[in-house]
Chain A
Amino acid sequence: MILQALVITFVSLGVLSLSQTKHRKQVIPAYKKAPPWLTQGLQLAGFSGLCFAATILIVAKGWSLGLVYWFGGLTVTAFALALLLSFRPKLKS
């Protein structure tokens, strides 16, 4: 359960990062300019993914522990993503 939530968190953050021009440029240079519906869609997908991960954890672990897991997972996955975007942007997607 935790592992799934962690993967969902990571992917959602990745999607969120793609909604930003700066990071989209790193990953897929051709898509530098994106229509607003795409960035908004990516944002929506990313945030709903994060909420979904939170829901999974809260259901599995209860409010107190679920939120602790969620924040902890957010921290490490976001850090991993930041390093990934910087060192190996092409690996992503």
Chain B
Amino acid sequence: MKFRHSMIWLHTWAGLVLSGLLYFMFITGSAGYFDDEITRWMQPEIPMLNGHFDHAEQIPAAEQRLQQLAPNADQLYMQFPVGRSPFFTLWWHIPKGHPDGGWHSEKLDPNTGHPITTRHTEGGEGLYRLHYNLHYLPTQLAHWITSLAAMFMLVAMVSGVIIHRRIFKDFFNFRRHKKLTSWMDMHNLLGVLPLPFHLMITYSGLVLLMFSTMIAIPVSSFGVGKELRHAYDAVFEEPHHREASGIAAPGLPLITMYQMAIQQGDGQVAFVNVDNPGDSYAVVEIGMRAVSGLGEFHTLHYDAVSGKPLDNALIEAEHSGAKKVYTTLEELHEGIFAPPFLRWLYFLSGLMGAAMIATGTVLWILKRRELHAKAGLNTRGLYTVEGLTVGTVIGLPIAIASYFYANRLLPVDLASRASWEINGLFITWLIMLLHPFLLRQRKSMQSLWLEQLLIAAGVYAGIPILNMLTSDQHVMAALWQRDWVLVGFDLFMLVLAASFILAYYKLKLREPHGDFTLQLGDFSR
């Protein structure tokens, strides 16, 4: 019994202390499963695709464009609007040492192949990166903090399983209209049912950041100087498929290799990559959308000069077992292989994680509220926690909506526009966190929840309208063109608005003070 009590204590505090941060990580991380789709919506300059993307017509034009843009690049890459990718993008890498060394890119119109200028935005990727870089902090520190939060999450999960006595008996159990019991049941459901996902995502998240948090181990063998850098490069750098020979030789047009690839493999071609273009040892890699497995693509390799297929097995770099485990965990965590259905499962599981954290915090508050009332304690501390909870649980979604508003309302030529979008998100969140404390007079908790729920419903319902006013890609136009990414984005915003308004009415219909009362007996179960 003593052990169980200590586990309850551990679960309560490990869960509560970083709950706000964990909620933030779960929400922004879940949004990351649709990063490309979000970026697509945030760049309305990209025209919608008419019908099918025509590889045969676009590849030669794109190749020509790349030769103009980057005559001295050592790697070229074309991304096609195929499968999940909504973009037609050219990338090129200028070798280190040149004045503009590094990666560059240009987006093209998927219908005509003409270059287009898009507004500066971090898009969905910026949103998703927040869940481990925390934006304002130095990278290493952010990795440490998010790893710490993940560690707390792991502790809370394991202790949660230990204290949950009837994990299988209560597997489907949700009792309504039972006040605290209902919250408890919902917390259990949201914790137990997606447990495989939660364990996987937390554990793999920790492993992904191990190069920051476990830095002492490589440092102990390589020191902190150049050798460490080399060791990292050896592990992480994607090796060139074949070293350049240094002898110039004209390559075959890429369309030749494309034609061979569609004969040889099945599926649509998603990208074309050229290593060392113009060299006699240049390699062309054609990526097809993978039909099975955890990887996103399967690739075919060709000699760029002769067009002869190269043996994939010889080219794929040999990886150690540890690297393979790391890559598998990374792929599982990021779900990059996931087709739409599985992607939605990932997304929903992520939201369930966020909801589990939210219900857990609400439970803590409800229990304290009763205890405080009984003991006649000062409720200022409790009010602070409650206010911060409202400002996070509802305030964060409002802040994310403000990110989309900033994307459309900030002037296109604003300096450092992309970072102002993210600043907008955090400023809005700050306002929502302060909202419970702004007015001199304390508000009732119920009215706080209601106000923020109403704001959230309003801002999300407004997003499709905002889209209509600031671009020509509103729902009806997107439906007409069958651009399901754009249709889906706007419709999902309406779904969110509807959920917030539903929650608003559910809460409003309760009598003002009888709402959250509870029986203490429920907790000693």
Do A85 and B172 form a contact, CB below 8 Å, given A2-B341, A75-B349, A79-B189?
yes
**Residue on B nearest A73 in the bound complex, by CB:** B345
Do A78 and B346 form a contact, CB below 8 Å, given A62-B293, A65-B293, A86-B176?
no
**Residue on A nearest B175 in the bound complex, by CB:** A86
| CA A54 to CA B332, docked complex, whole Å | 18
A76 on interface, CB distance cutoff 8 Å: yes
Collect the chain B residues with CB atoms within 8 Å of residue A87's CB.
176
Collect the chain A residues with CB atoms within 8 Å of residue B189's CB.
79, 82
**Residue on B nearest A83 in the bound complex, by CB:** B174
Q: Are A61 and B197 in contact (CB under 8 A)?
A: no
The smallest C-beta distance from B111 to any residue of chain A, in angstroms, reads 33
| CA A21 to CA B342, docked complex, whole Å | 33
Question: Considering the complex, which residues of chain A in the window 32-83 have a beta carbon less than 8 Å from any beta carbon of chain B?
Answer: 61-62, 64-65, 68-69, 71-76, 78-79, 81-83
Q: Interface size on B (CB < 8 Å)?
A: 25
Q: Which of A17, A68, A85 makes the CB contact (< 8 A) with B342?
A: A68
**Cβ proximity bits A9-28 to B, threshold 8 Å, 1 near / 0 not:** 00001001100101100000
Collect the chain B residues with CB atoms within 8 Å of residue A83's CB.
174
Q: Are B193 and A75 in contact (CB under 8 A)?
A: yes
**Cβ proximity bits B328-361 to A, threshold 8 Å, 1 near / 0 not:** 1000100001000110011011001000000000
Collect the chain A residues with CB atoms within 8 Å of residue B196's CB.
71, 74-75
**Cβ proximity bits B166-199 to A, threshold 8 Å, 1 near / 0 not:** 0001011111100000000000010001101100
B416 on interface, CB distance cutoff 8 Å: no
Collect the chain B residues with CB atoms within 8 Å of residue A81's CB.
172
Q: Are B345 and A76 in contact (CB under 8 A)?
A: yes
Question: Considering the complex, which residues of chain B in the window 195-229 have a beta carbon less than 8 Å from any beta carbon of chain A?
Answer: 196-197
Q: Which of A22, A61, A75 makes the CB contact (< 8 A) with B292?
A: A61
A2, A62, A73, A79 pick with most chain B CB within 10 angstroms: A79
B465 on interface, CB distance cutoff 8 Å: no
| CA A75 to CA B201, docked complex, whole Å | 14
B294 on interface, CB distance cutoff 8 Å: yes
**Residue on B nearest A84 in the bound complex, by CB:** B172
Q: Are B171 and A71 in contact (CB under 8 A)?
A: no
Q: Which of A23, A62, A71, A72 makes the CB contact (< 8 A) with B172?
A: A23
Collect the chain B residues with CB atoms within 8 Å of residue A75's CB.
193-194, 196-197, 345, 348-349, 352
**Cβ proximity bits B24-40 to A, threshold 8 Å, 1 near / 0 not:** 00000000000000000
Q: Which of B173, B176, B197, B292 makes the CB contact (< 8 A) with A72?
A: B197
Q: Are A72 and B171 in contact (CB under 8 A)?
A: no
Collect the chain B residues with CB atoms within 8 Å of residue A23's CB.
172
| CA A35 to CA B194, docked complex, whole Å | 32
Collect the chain A residues with CB atoms within 8 Å of residue B175's CB.
86
Q: Are B172 and A82 in contact (CB under 8 A)?
A: yes
**Residue on B nearest A20 in the bound complex, by CB:** B169
B176, B193, B349 pick with most chain A CB within 10 angstroms: B193
| CA A78 to CA B239, docked complex, whole Å | 44
The smallest C-beta distance from A89 to any residue of chain B, in angstroms, reads 11
The smallest C-beta distance from B84 to any residue of chain A, in angstroms, reads 16
The smallest C-beta distance from A9 to any residue of chain B, in angstroms, reads 12
| CA A69 to CA B328, docked complex, whole Å | 16
The smallest C-beta distance from A63 to any residue of chain B, in angstroms, reads 10
Q: Which of B174, B194, B197, B293 makes the CB contact (< 8 A) with A86?
A: B174
| CA A72 to CA B341, docked complex, whole Å | 10
Collect the chain B residues with CB atoms within 8 Å of residue A61's CB.
292
The smallest C-beta distance from A44 to any residue of chain B, in angstroms, reads 15
Do A72 and B345 form a contact, CB below 8 Å, given A62-B293, A64-B293, A79-B352?
yes
A71, A72, A76 pick with most chain B CB within 10 angstroms: A72
Collect the chain B residues with CB atoms within 8 Å of residue A86's CB.
174-176
| CA A13 to CA B332, docked complex, whole Å | 25
Q: Are B293 and A82 in contact (CB under 8 A)?
A: no
**Residue on B nearest A69 in the bound complex, by CB:** B342
Do A71 and B197 form a contact, CB below 8 Å, given A82-B174, A85-B172, A86-B174?
yes
B176, B293, B345 pick with most chain A CB within 10 angstroms: B345
| CA A20 to CA B171, docked complex, whole Å | 10
Q: Are B292 and A62 in contact (CB under 8 A)?
A: yes
Q: Are A82 and B173 in contact (CB under 8 A)?
A: yes
Q: Are A85 and B352 in contact (CB under 8 A)?
A: no
Do A72 and B293 form a contact, CB below 8 Å, given A65-B337, A78-B172?
no
**Residue on A nearest B198 in the bound complex, by CB:** A75
| CA A50 to CA B121, docked complex, whole Å | 45
Q: Are B171 and A68 in contact (CB under 8 A)?
A: no
The smallest C-beta distance from B161 to any residue of chain A, in angstroms, reads 16
**Residue on A nearest B186 in the bound complex, by CB:** A82
Collect the chain A residues with CB atoms within 8 Å of residue B193's CB.
74-75, 78-79, 82
Collect the chain B residues with CB atoms within 8 Å of residue A72's CB.
197, 342, 345-346, 349
**Residue on A nearest B346 in the bound complex, by CB:** A72
3 shortest interchain CB distances as A-B pairs: A72-B345, A71-B196, A86-B174
Binding site for A on B (CB under 8 A): 169, 171-176, 189, 193-194, 196-197, 292-294, 328, 332, 337, 341-342, 345-346, 348-349, 352
A-B contact pairs, 7 of them (CB 8 A): A17-B171, A20-B169, A68-B332, A71-B197, A72-B197, A82-B173, A86-B176
Given contacts A68-B342, A86-B175, 18 further A-B contacts (CB under 8 A): A17-B171, A20-B172, A22-B169, A22-B173, A61-B292, A64-B328, A71-B196, A72-B346, A72-B349, A74-B193, A74-B196, A75-B348, A78-B171, A79-B189, A82-B174, A82-B189, A85-B174, A86-B174
